[in-house]
Amino acid sequence: MSTYAHPAPLQQKIGSGFASAVLLHVAVAGILIGLAFLHPFHPKSWGEDASSAGSIQATMVNAIPLPPKAPPVDHAVLASENVTKAPAPPVKEKTAPPPKPTDILIKSKVDTKIPKVAPKENLAPTRHPQPVPDSPKATTGDAATQLPQAITQAVNGTATVTVQSRTFGNRYAYYLRIVGGMVTKNYNQQHPDPRTSQDKSVTMLFDIQRDGTVANLRLQTPSGSSSLDAAGKRAILEVDSFGPLPEGDHITIEYKFDYHHP
Amino acid sequence: MLRSALLKSSSKQYALALAVLCVFSSPFLRAQDTFHLEATNSTDRIRIAVADFKPQSADPATSGYKHTFDTTLFADLNAAGIFDIVSKGLIPQSAPGNQAEMNLAQWSAPPASAAMVAFGNLSANNGRLIVNGFLDDTKNTQFPQVFVKQYSEEASDDQARQIAHRFADEIIARLGGGGVGIAETKIYYVKQTGQNKEIWEMDYDGANQHALTHLGTVSMSPRISPDNSRLAFSSLGREGFQIKMFSLLLNRMITFPAAGGTNLSPAWAPSGNQIAFSSSRTGDPEIWTADANGSIARRITSFRGPDVSPVYNPKTGAQIAWVSGRTGQPQIYIMDSDGSGVTRMTDGGYATSPSWSPNGQFLAFAWDRKYGPGAPGGQDIYVMEIASKRWIQLTHDIGRCDFPSWSPDGRHIVFANTPDGKDAHMRIMTMLADGTQKRALTGSGGDMPNWSWK
Amino acid sequence: MTLQSKPWKWALLAAALSFATGCHHSKPLNNAGANPNETATSNLPAPTATLTADPLAIDIGQSLVLNWRTTNATSVVIDGIGPVPVNGTQTVSPSNSTIFKLTAKGDGGSTEANVLVTVRVPQPPSAADENANGSEDKTDEVTFHQNVKDVFFDYDSFDLRPDAQQAALSAARYLAAHPAIKVLIGGYCDDRGSAEYNITLGENRANAARTALISAGVPASRIRVVSYGKERQFCTEENETCWQENRRAQFNIDR
């Protein structure tokens, strides 16, 4: 009795071996394809989460480049694309609406504004020769150049910061520049929808308190583009503090942004 | 013939299978989604010029103090990270001593083109050093003065430096948008003295390095309390490493209860009333918290494996980040201060030494992403945004880096680095929090820096 | 007679005491800093100088930093370095012990400051470092280490390998045979990795060895554990052999 099994002819063995190898590969491929269809794998790439993508992505680049003032994500009330209704302005402050670009500012309007807005500042509105800042918006006929302003260029438009106290703006023009710079820097990180925002302007109104923090943020003039409105609000809310006010309890700032995508 | 045909078809099938395999496994492969840093361009920074202060007395000592003052002020404003400082070669030659002597047009015109000017006068008389510092807005011809301040101290080189620090901090407070100046902050660190290691202190810019402890043993991990009154650290004694406390007010050691096992890496809660540390008094090193006197100690982790290097969230005090080796190599985790809500932050490699940024949003830590026998990598400083877990690498190819520590303004990070990998050549370096402007603060033998809270 | 002599005795004692305190000088502080030799002239303030070095003792090949402060000086020279600024620091790497001498000259005179720097030949760490003094009975140590071998660990691990288990078992047997000996287990790590984490890793290594001893019957009261992390190295080469040497739990007689 032979203890050896007789091997099948070599050629046949290899042929059958190859066939089974091919079958195995096809089977494995088939299993994988089937798995892919049955259990689609969608990894959550970081930053993909739509609900928080807006504010996080917006702040990510802003956070480390100096000076960093990235906002706490928890306070991102505007994390969603739906803009929450701006809170009603406080009753005691009935400010006249800012002059529209086409309006010609009447002196009397300017005078009535000041005592209402800054009741605590008992400074007589004397007639200082107002320094006229060179305004690149001369084409729109904006004649509100009498009010102290700081104008900063953003990546996709122009920002005008106006303080509703002429004396403050004259004395502390550098502070306005800081306010404009900080808000515009944040604004540069926003990405309002260019299609709906092109050539639109949004005006926000807010107070700066003695310690430099923002209060009473409200939408003064909506632009008609919800993403531009949201971007403007976010840019202001992202500021922790502008630094302590050099004088006074609070000032009111008007921040107007004109969107011009190049 | 049949065989070769079979071979061809089988290799084709094989190739097809391979291709299919690659296509369908690509979702499994996840590339790191790093975020880009934009360096702050000069247009975002305030362009400030620093004039040489005018010497106001003939006292020969004045020139020495003035030189120290001028260079320190320039360095402080330059290091703040928020200014585009006008280089000394571009400023007008005049040194205005007061508002009357200041000609704004000179400074706002090119080549200086400054938006702000810091200037003033300095004099040393009868052992008193008196400095009047002004800050002017060059664009506001009507009301140029932002502020003026007078400083009067005992005349010495050290005071000349300290006055410059205070003046710089005041400028940063006014112009920095609520940012806090760091010119008066200190760095506490480990200094190698032969076989031993002692705790030393220096100014944030590397000046005034001096010893605090003289224990004659290995001491490490210094952590200053939020009110700058006490320094906690760990020290090797007969019973192993123990937590010790040094009082900066009394300038000597104060008692802190010893406990069994190895106790090390203390960390302060922002309230100054609690400390967290690693203790192996129950056998396995775990994270414990106690009050600042070391009593009412409570254990808050309980996993097998080393747990060490805790750090509190300095903004809220409600969370702790720490290093745990529970999965093998050390990784960074975050939990609430009572031990709940454990979240893993790093996904591999060898990660240690977390430091939490003052605004509560970032962790800086040392990470070697390719660590292990056969795949030796480099250990570098990384910053991770906690909410999104995105990270960026701040150091590249400068040697092994470890022990990052944030500055209180959140704009700077100090860390230890050894260019050739040898522990004996460890030195302390500082950089901006985006990785730029790196420079060494100490020579060889400095390690484990800790930046003060204010 | 006695009543009269008592006040005399007290007076004598008082006089003697006051003379004694009068003769008692406090020793001048011997810091490594200033030994000023001031030669003051008329009214101008004399210069002062302090010169310190840290560390004061280094191993060959290391460097140290000289740190000097002077007041009222216009020119400052350090031997071996040359003219230097009035205040400053300088890194130096002397190859043998030297005295650095600083001379500060000013309008009010001149002064000197010296500091002695020691350069050591490095000593290898001895395994009996952690014991209080060196006058142990050496035979006991030698026999102990012959019979009780240290336990070695894998990279970043504190699990006992099979060879480590064996070593622990034979250690336990030896300790059972010598019930008077108490053992101190030291935990060590190789010099890679972070200092703080390594101390806890060393702790876990020592505890693993301790657990092995306890489960082999050694009472816990005879065992003490101390971790050194990577603060004490048995060798300093940068290769796997040396790293393995350092990844250990070491058994020592606890005195």
3-state secondary structure C47-109: CEEEEEEECCEEECCCCEEEEEEEECCCEEEECCCEEECCCEEEEECCCCCEEEEEEEEECCE
For the entire predicted model, the pTM comes to: 0.67
For the segment A103-130, the average pLDDT, to the nearest whole number, is 43
- For residue A147, the model assigns a pLDDT of 62
Residue A112 burial class via C-beta count within 10 angstroms: exposed 0-12, middle 13-18, buried 19 and up: exposed
Give the max Cα distance, chain B. 110
User: Where along chain A do its domains lie?
Assistant: 8-41, 50-259
The two three-digit tokens of residue B5, written as one number: 């045909």
> H or E stretch including C112?
strand C109-120
Domain topology for B42-175: Rossmann fold (3.40.50)
User: Strand B54-55 and strand B116-125: pairing?
Assistant: parallel
List the 255-294 stretch of B: residues with Cβ below 8 A of C.
261-262, 264-265, 278, 280, 283-285
Q: 3-class DSSP state for residue B323?
A: strand
Which pLDDT belongs to residue A202?
87
List of chain C residues whose C-beta atoms are within 8 Å of the C-beta of residue B378: none
Confidence of residue A240 (pLDDT cuts 50, 70, 90): confident
Local structure of B86: helix, strand or coil: coil
Structure tokens belonging to residue B173: 């407070």
Closest alpha carbon within chain A to B433: A64
Contacting residues for A56 by C-beta, under 8 A, at least 6 apart: A47, A73, B385, B387, B388
E strand or H helix at B247: strand B240-247
Confidence at residue C35, expressed as pLDDT on a 0 to 100 scale = 43
User: Which residues of A are less than 8 Å from B82 in CB distance?
Assistant: 66-67
User: In chain C, whose CA is at the least distance from the CA of B211?
Assistant: C54
The answer, for B40 touching chain A at a CB cutoff of 8 Å, is yes
Chains linked to A by 3 or more Cβ pairs within 8 Å: B
Chain centroid to Cα B94, Å, comes to: 37
Window 357-396 of B, Cβ < 8 Å to C: 366, 372-373
Q: Kindly report the nearest CA distance between residue A177 and chain B, in angstroms.
A: 10
Q: Using CB atoms, which chains have 3+ pairs under 8 A with B?
A: A, C
- Asked if the C-beta of B143 comes within 8 angstroms of chain A's C-beta atoms, the answer is yes
Flag if B37 and A11 touch (Cβ within 8 Å).
no
C-alpha distances in Å from residue B425, one per residue of A188, A251, B399, C63: 43, 54, 11, 9
Pairing of strands C109-120, C151-152: unpaired
**Preferred mutation among A32, A174, A186, A253 to probe B, highest tally of B CBs within 10 A:** A174
Looking at per-residue confidence, does B211 or A58 come out higher?
B211
Residue bearing the bigger pLDDT, B349 or B29: B349
pLDDT at C58 over 70: yes
Tens digit of pLDDT for each residue in A19-51?
888 899 888 988 888 887 877 666 555 544 444
Complete DSSP assignment for A117-184: H-TT---------------TTGGGT--GGGS-EEEEEETTEEEEEEES-HHHHHHTHHHHHHHHHHHH
For residue B443, give the nearest of C59, C63, C204 by CB distance. C63
Residue B30, pLDDT above cutoff 80: no
Peptide bond into C36 cis (omega under 30): no
Nearest C-alpha of chain C: how many angstroms from B283?
Answer: 7
Pairing verdict, β B46-50 and B83-85: parallel
pLDDT of residue A160: 85
Minimal CA separation from B173 to chain A, in Å: 7
- Our CA-based measurement puts residue B284 at a distance from the nearest CA of chain C, in whole angstroms, of 7
**Residues B383, A64: contact at Cβ < 8 Å?**
yes
Tokens (6 digits) for B350: 């060898």
What values do phi and psi take at B118, rounded to 5? -105, 130
Out of B30, B361, B432, the one facing A63 most closely (by C-beta) is: B361
| pLDDT mean over A126-150 | 46
Selection from B43, B288, B21 nearest residue A155 by Cα:
B43
Residues forming CATH 3.30.1330.60 domain(s) in chain C: 138-253
pLDDT in tens, C201-254: 999 999 999 999 999 888 999 999 999 999 999 998 888 899 999 999 999 888
Please tell me whether residue B117 adopts helix, strand or coil conformation.
strand
DSSP character string of B342-359: -EE---SSEEEEEEE-TT
End-to-end Cα distance, chain B: 84
Reported confidence tier of residue A12, pLDDT bands at 50, 70, 90: low
Q: Tell me whether the omega of the peptide bond preceding residue A99 falls within 30 degrees of 0, making it cis.
A: no
Distance CA A174, CA B48 (A): 12
Calpha distance A133→A161 (Å, rounded): 12
What was the pLDDT predicted at A142?
36
Q: Which two tokens stand for residue A245?
A: 């006010």
Terminal alpha carbon distance of chain A: 94
> Which residues are CB-neighbours of C226 under 8 A, at least 6 positions away?
B238, B239, B240, B262, C130, C184, C185, C186, C187, C206
Chain C nearest CA to B26, separation (Å):
32
Q: What is the pLDDT of residue B428?
A: 97
- Nearest C-alpha in C relative to B221: C196
Residue B29 has pLDDT above 70, yes or no: no
**Chain C: residue whose CA lies nearest to B61:** C72
Residue A65 has pLDDT above 70, yes or no: no
pLDDT of residue A11: 53
* Delimiting residues of CATH 2.60.40.10 domain(s) in chain C: 48-120
Q: Is the pLDDT of residue B27 over 50?
A: no
Three-class DSSP category at C248: strand
The set of residues, in sequence order, having a beta carbon less than 8 Å from that of A19 and lying 6+ positions away, is B6
Q: How confident is the model at residue B35 (pLDDT cuts 50, 70, 90)?
A: very low
Q: Which member of C196, C203, C228 has the closest CB to residue B280?
A: C203
C53 bridge partner residues: C66
Tokens of C150: 């240290």
Pairing assessment for the beta strands B116-125 and B46-50 based on DSSP bridges? parallel
Interface test with B, best of A66, A75, A177, A182 (most B CBs within 10 A): A66
Mean pLDDT of B80-104: 89
User: Chain B window 48-87: which residues touch A at a Cβ cutoff of 8 Å?
Assistant: 81-82
**With touching defined as 3+ CB pairs under 8 A, do chains A and B touch?**
yes
User: B349 to each of B144, B332, C155, C195, how far by Cα in Å?
Assistant: 55, 10, 14, 17
Q: What is the mean pLDDT of residues B332-349?
A: 94
State the pLDDT at residue B303: 85
Q: What is the pLDDT of residues C89-118, one digit of tens each?
A: 888 888 788 888 999 998 888 899 988 888
Nearest to B284 among C196, C204, C226 (CB): C204
Query: Where residue B375 falls among pLDDT bands split at 50, 70, 90?
Result: low
Q: Per-residue pLDDT averaged across A114-119, rounded? A: 40
Q: Please judge whether A63 and B7 are an interchain contact, meaning their C-beta atoms are less than 8 angstroms apart.
A: no
Rg over CA atoms, chain A: 31
Nearest to C117 by CA among C162, C59, C198: C59
* Nearest partner of B98 among B68, B130, B139, judged by Cα: B130
Is the Cβ of A17 closer than 8 Å to some Cβ of chain B?
Answer: no
Tokens of A86: 């701006």
Q: What is the amino acid identity at position B360?
A: G
Please tell me which residue of chain B has the smallest CA distance to A153.
B43
pLDDT band at C144 (very low <50, low <70, confident <90, very high): confident
Closest listed residue to residue B321, CA positions, set B305, B306, B299, B337: B337
Q: Which residues have CB under 8 Å from B187's CB, separation 6+?
A: B201, B202, B203, B204, B405, B414, B428, B441, B449, B450, B451, B452
Chain A hits for B141, CB-CB cut-off 8 Å, are 131
- Write the burial class of residue B77 (CB in 10 Å: 0-12 exposed, 13-18 middle, 19+ buried): buried
Q: Which fold has domain C138-253?
A: 60s Ribosomal Protein L30; Chain: A; (3.30.1330)
Contact between C156 and C200 (Cβ < 8 Å): no
CB contact under 8 A, B236 and C231: yes
DSSP B218: B
Cα nearest neighbour of B17 on chain A = A29
- How distant is the alpha carbon of residue A239 from its chain centre? 11
pLDDT at residue B8 tops 80: no
- Higher local confidence (pLDDT), A149 or A78: A149
Cβ within 8 Å of C, B 172-231 = 191-194, 197, 209, 211, 218, 220-221
Q: For residue B244, what is the enclosing H or E element?
A: strand B240-247
What span, in angstroms and rounded, lies between the C-alpha atoms of A190 and B38?
14
A247-260 pLDDT tens trace? 888 899 888 888 88
Q: How many Cβ pairs closer than 8 A exist between chain B and C? A: 114
Contacts of residue A244, Cβ cutoff 8 Å, sequence gap at least 6: A210, A211, A212, B173, B174, B178
The shortest CB-CB distance from C196 to any of B221, B239, B350 is to B221
Asked if B137 has any chain C CB less than 8 Å from its own CB, the reply is no
Q: What are phi and psi of C206, to 5 degrees?
A: -60, -40
Query: How many Cβ atoms sit within 10 Å of the Cβ of residue B321?
Result: 23
Dist. CA B98–CA B337, nearest whole Å: 53
CB within 8 Å: C195 and B372: no
B4 inside 8 A of chain A by CB = no
Which CATH superfamily includes the segment(s) B186-451?
TolB, C-terminal domain (2.120.10.30)
Q: Using alpha carbons, select from B149, B152, B151, B167 the residue that is nearest to residue B72.
A: B167
CB spacing of B388 vs A47 below 8 angstroms: yes
Q: Which helix H or strand E contains B19, and what residues bound it?
A: helix B2-25
Other chains touching C, judged by 3 or more CB pairs under 8 Å: B
Residue A86 in contact with residue A219, Cβ under 8 Å? Answer: yes
CB of C191 closer than 8 Å to CB of C246: yes
Q: Quick one: tokens of B209?
A: 């390095």
| Cβ–Cβ below 8 Å for B13 and A171 | no
Nearest chain B residue (CA) to A52: B388
- Pairing of the two strands B286-291 and B380-385: unpaired
Q: Residues 123 to 142 of B: which have CB under 8 A from any A CB?
A: 137, 139-142
Cβ within 8 Å of A, B 183-202: none
Distance from CA of B67 to the nearest CA of A (A): 29
Evaluate if residue C17 carries a pLDDT over 90: no
Per-residue confidence (pLDDT) for residue B6, from 0 to 100? 52
Compare CB distances from B366 to C87, C194, C207 and report the shortest one's residue: C194
Best of B16, B139, B383 to mutate (most A CBs within 10 Å, chain A): B139
pLDDT at A97 over 70: no
Model confidence pLDDT, tens digit, residues B152-205: 999 999 999 999 999 999 999 999 887 788 999 999 999 998 889 999 999 999
Show me where the domains of chain B are located. 42-175, 186-451
DSSP letters, A182-232, are HHHHHHHH----HHHHTT-EEEEEEEEETTS-EEEEEEEE--S-HHHHHHH
The whole-number pLDDT of residue A139 equals 36
Task: Return the CATH fold of C48-120.
Answer: Immunoglobulin-like (2.60.40)
Q: Is B15 on the interface with A (CB under 8 A)?
A: no
The minimal CB distance from C200 to the residues B218, B285, B403 is found for B285
Rounded to two decimals, the ipTM of the complex is: 0.83
CB-based contact B323 C199, cutoff 8 Å: no
| Residue B237: strand pairing partners | B240
Q: In terms of Cα–Cα distance, which of B403, B313, B309, B404 is closest to B359?
A: B313
Interface residue A246 vs chain B (CB under 8 A): yes
